[in-house]
């Protein structure tokens, strides 16, 4: 079994990741940390989330917790990176999900250098599904 980072919830509800030794697992990895019981997230709907993202073994590059507001976007239609579309469609509102997203489902060989994401980076997100519209 592939070893994924562990998640600890800090005071105030912000997640923190601890990475295992070694390289990132191959392929898209989706681990439900906590099951929600809300409506199912369907492709084409707008999803509302809180999230934290960092590169495998690297630093946090973005998170909604520090901004104090959720984000919303269309899911399953190519509006976000493929790992989010593939990993979040079919989840339930209330789910807390850990995503390990290889470069081919993230930002590819280009990366996003201005955001601190090198080319070829595996991305790791903790996503709390807050709602669907």
H or E stretch including 18?
strand 15-18
How does pLDDT run along the chain (133 residues), one tens digit per residue? 558 999 999 877 899 999 999 999 999 999 999 999 999 999 999 999 999 999 998 999 999 999 999 999 999 999 999 999 999 999 999 999 999 999 999 999 999 999 999 999 999 999 999 999 9
pLDDT value of position 10: 87
pLDDT value of position 2: 59
pLDDT value of position 130: 97
Alpha carbons 111 and 25: distance in angstroms, whole number: 18
CATH of domain 29-132: 3.10.50.40
Query: What are 100's strand-pairing partners?
Result: 29, 124
């Amino acid at each position: 079994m592939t070893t994924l980072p562990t998640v600890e919830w800090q005071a105030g509800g912000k997640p923190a990741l601890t990475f295992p030794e070694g390289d990132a697992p191959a392929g898209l990895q989706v681990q439900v940390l906590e099951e929600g019981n809300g409506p199912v997230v369907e492709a084409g709907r707008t999803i509302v989330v809180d999230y934290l993202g960092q590169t495998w073994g690297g630093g946090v590059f973005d998170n909604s917790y520090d901004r104090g507001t959720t984000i919303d976007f269309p899911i399953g239609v190519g509006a976000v990176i493929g790992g989010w579309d593939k990993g979040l469609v079919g989840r339930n509102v209330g789910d807390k999900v850990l995503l390990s997203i290889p470069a081919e489902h993230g930002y590819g060989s280009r990366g996003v250098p201005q955001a601190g994401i090198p080319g070829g980076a595996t991305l790791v997100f903790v996503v709390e599904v807050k709602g669907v519209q």
